[in-house]
Structure 1
Amino acid sequence: MGAADEQDLEDGEGWLTKAEVREIWPQIRPISIRAVARSNSVRTSPAPSLDLTREPTYHAADVRHVAARIARGEAEVAPWQRADSDAARDDATPVPPVQQPISWGPDNVPGLILLAIIVGLILWGLASPDNHGTVTDFVR
């Protein structure tokens, strides 16, 4: 480790994982950390972190600077990105899944055509005057 790297660590600089940034920015939703970092010019490392999440690591001094700006209300943070916003509470409130009504729309046309062909073949086979190879001939 060089002298510049040691000085960076003493000054509180270095690189932080997303989990560490979440601890410093508790008022930001975890899903929004990357967007908030980007909109507030937080430097990220070119190589992803080693924790298998493929998330970038964030410059510690930049993260701390933005944390102070978030606390003062000066940071670029959309309301839906805040953990204490109405949007975050709405997302956290469980709702039953919405069932889509079954329709006879254009998405079902190929299936309906296949169904019509199968039904037509069955009816043609039953109505045919010479039922060669049917079950009734086999039983007799």
Structure 2
Amino acid sequence: MGAADEQGLENGQGWLTKAEVHEIWPQIRPSSIRAVARANNVRTSAVPSLDLTREPTYRAADVRDVAARIARGEAEVEPWQRADSDAARADVEPGPPVRQPVSWGPENVPGLILLVLIVALFLWGLTSPDNHGTGTVFVR
């Protein structure tokens, strides 16, 4: 970065990528940066960033203004969007998956009855005399 670029960023000019915004807003979850920026009227560029994510770039002055408002607790930020909230911690550290036991309980009885009927009808069809294809008999 040249001296002119650094001066422009110090004056609040320039555009920041999502990763750079996350460095300025460490208390905001990376997946919530776009929503927080929209809720706090951070201007975005019409041209997405040059990296492969195709994320918009954010106006540096607006990002810094919102960072100060976040620090004071005045910014529009939902609790689940904060990286330091209980909801975010629970989302990041999920518990072990709950395995449901397989049982033959009362909720399975209708399905079992239907299965028994289908198998019985199938077996009955196999054992009954087959008159199909032996000729056509017309009854008068």
Length-normalised TM-score, structure 2: 0.68
Q: Mind listing any 5+ residue stretches in structure 1 that lack a counterpart?
A: 131-140
Q: Which has the larger radius of gyration?
A: 2
- Does residue 1:54 correspond to 2:54, yes or no? yes
Counterpart CA distance in 2 for 1:129 and 1:43 is 80
Q: Which amino acid aligns with 1:128?
A: S
Change (3 A) 1:54 1:100: farther
Q: Which amino acid aligns with 2:20?
A: E
Change (3 A) 1:121 1:34: same
Identity across the alignment (%)? 77
Counterpart CA distance in 1 for 2:82 and 2:9 is 29
What value does the CA root-mean-square deviation take over the aligned residues? 3.4
Structure 2 partner of 1:29: 29
Structure 2 partner of 1:63: 63
Change (3 A) 1:46 1:120: farther
Q: Which amino acid aligns with 1:38?
A: R
Q: How many residues align?
A: 121
Counterpart CA distance in 2 for 1:126 and 1:16 is 74
Counterpart CA distance in 2 for 1:51 and 1:57 is 11
Counterpart CA distance in 1 for 2:43 and 2:7 is 18
- Aligned residue runs from structure 1 range 1-140, under 5 A: 8-9=8-9, 11-99=11-99, 119=119, 122-130=122-130
Counterpart CA distance in 1 for 2:44 and 2:60 is 10
Counterpart CA distance in 2 for 1:10 and 1:89 is 34
Larger relative strand fraction: 1
Shift of 1:76: 1.1
Structure 2 partner of 1:137: none
Between 42-51 and 59-68, report the one with greater CA deviation.
42-51
Q: Mind listing any 5+ residue stretches in structure 2 that lack a counterpart?
A: 131-140
Counterpart CA distance in 2 for 1:117 and 1:8 is 79
